[in-house]
Structure 1
Amino acid sequence: MTSRTDLLRQVADLVPGAVGQDCVRVGVDGPDASGKTTFADELADVLRSLGRHVIRVSVDDFHNVREIRYRRGRLSPEGFWLDAFNYDRLRADVLDPLGPAGSRQYRRAAHELTTDRVLNPPYETAPPNAVLITDGLFLHRDELAACWDFSILLSVPFDVTTQRMAARDGTNPDPNHPTIQRYITAQHRYSKTCTPRSRATVVIDNTIPEAPHLVRP
């Protein structure tokens, strides 16, 4: 099996170069507790070691406020799929300005989850040819799929991710438990509606974090 270090370097070598002064937008997608944040951070470190300027953003900083997020109910899979994130702000603040011929003026966050505050931090200026690495759920949905110059899908079975969520968040470890269906059912809808495995540039099996392996290519 490929070591994690070797695979990260392999993926870093696949990240395309910039066109002109444009930035390169990389998305790291996968279900809850698939290891997106860790993988994105480690990929960022490898790219920096190769001399590339990296900007790290997380979709977790672009949640909608609770009034919108839970308007269909706290356990609603439909609500999780439709209302969890503020994609308008994500595109306006990050993905569009760091896209082709964009202004390169971006903001890293729109919402603070713990306090439910809407955020409007100062704009930052990305240097030419910077690499944006964004981790988050549902990155290959229709509103976002065309925004990525390179994208990664981490594939991990739900019986594994629910165990990880239980250890991390104190949720129920049973993937069939009613309190987990908000996440599992929304992921099933995402897979059926948006086929992220076919839209991603790279699919990685991250079931064993110490030894992930490429599923595609």
Structure 2
Amino acid sequence: MSPTRSIRAVSREALAEHLVERTDALPGRVRVAIDGPPPTATAELAEAVAEGLRLRGRETVVVRAGDFLRPASLRLEYGHHDEDMYLDGWLDEGALRREVLDPAGPHGAGRVLPRLWDAERDRAYREDYRELGPAGVVLVSGALLLGRGLPFELVAHLHMGRAALARRTPPEERWTLPVFERYSRERDPSGAADVLVMADHPERPAMRE
């Protein structure tokens, strides 16, 4: 992060409104990533942004990356706590592109699938496709989304420092902490973000100017 850029404290509502404005300023169909570790509550932020966009007349579909995981037989092939697989092998990137990002792109048909795979039950959802108009928006929320070459017109990354993330991660998920350290170091999500949010205190975020 550049030291010449200032950090401004904002409310969660102001952050959502900022993302609404940034998204609404983009013409045509727009694909937005809201990326961050689980304690940053990216899905809740995506829903707030979607609500604001709909009030502005932009048809919006919210997609959770957790609904596009690979089946357990592939995802957990090397065990439940394999760090390499969690970083690179859990998300079904091909399905997310095929069912959401490519159809929602400027040359896509606009027919997107909001949910694909129920990871808890390890079976496909019975979900209907949604038709996006020429100014529709797709918001994809979740963790470890960046550095994969997935196509987005706008990227927001909610950064949580090591100590804050360790404090807010449940004991049964602490094995993921080294993965988020690798993600920050190897993929540089803060540098890739159009909007960088410091989220050590998710209820009191700060935004990079």
Identity among equivalent pairs (%) = 24
| Native 8 Å contact 1:157 1:207 kept in 2 | yes
1:190 and 2:196 are equivalent in the alignment: no
Cα separation, partners in 2 of 1:82 and 1:2, compared to 1, 3 Å: closer
Give the Cα–Cα distance (whole angstroms) in 2 for the partners of residues 185 and 26 of structure 1.
26
Pairs within 5 Å for 1:125-144:
125-144=131-150
Runs of 4+ in 1 over 4 A off after TM superposition: none
Q: Which residue of 199, 202, 207 corresponds with 1:209?
A: 202
Pairs within 5 Å for 1:63-74:
63-74=69-80
Pairs within 5 Å for 1:75-90:
75-90=81-96
| Native 8 Å contact 1:104 1:125 kept in 2 | yes
TM-superposition CA deviations, 1:88-116 (whole Å, max 9, x none): 00000000000111110111122011210
State the shift of 1:197 in Å: 0.9
| Native 8 Å contact 1:59 1:137 kept in 2 | yes
Alignment match, 1:14: 22
**Unmatched segments (≥5 aa) in structure 2:** 1-8
State the shift of 1:32 in Å: 2.5
Pairs within 5 Å for 1:1-217:
1-19=9-27, 22-119=28-125, 121-144=127-150, 147-166=151-170, 171-172=171-172, 180-181=174-175, 183-215=176-208, 217=209
Give the Cα–Cα distance (whole angstroms) in 1 for the partners of residues 97 and 185 of structure 2.
24
Give the Cα–Cα distance (whole angstroms) in 2 for the partners of residues 188 and 209 of structure 1.
19
Give the 3-state SS of the residue equivalent to 2:38 in structure 1. coil
Give the 3-state SS of the residue equivalent to 2:98 in structure 1. helix
**Unmatched segments (≥5 aa) in structure 1:** 173-178
Give the 3-state SS of the residue equivalent to 2:33 in structure 1. strand
Give the Cα–Cα distance (whole angstroms) in 2 for the partners of residues 197 and 26 of structure 1.
15
Give the Cα–Cα distance (whole angstroms) in 1 for the partners of residues 90 and 201 of structure 2.
28
TM normalised by structure 1 equals 0.84
Give the Cα–Cα distance (whole angstroms) in 1 for the partners of residues 46 and 162 of structure 2.
20
Give the Cα–Cα distance (whole angstroms) in 1 for the partners of residues 109 and 29 of structure 2.
10
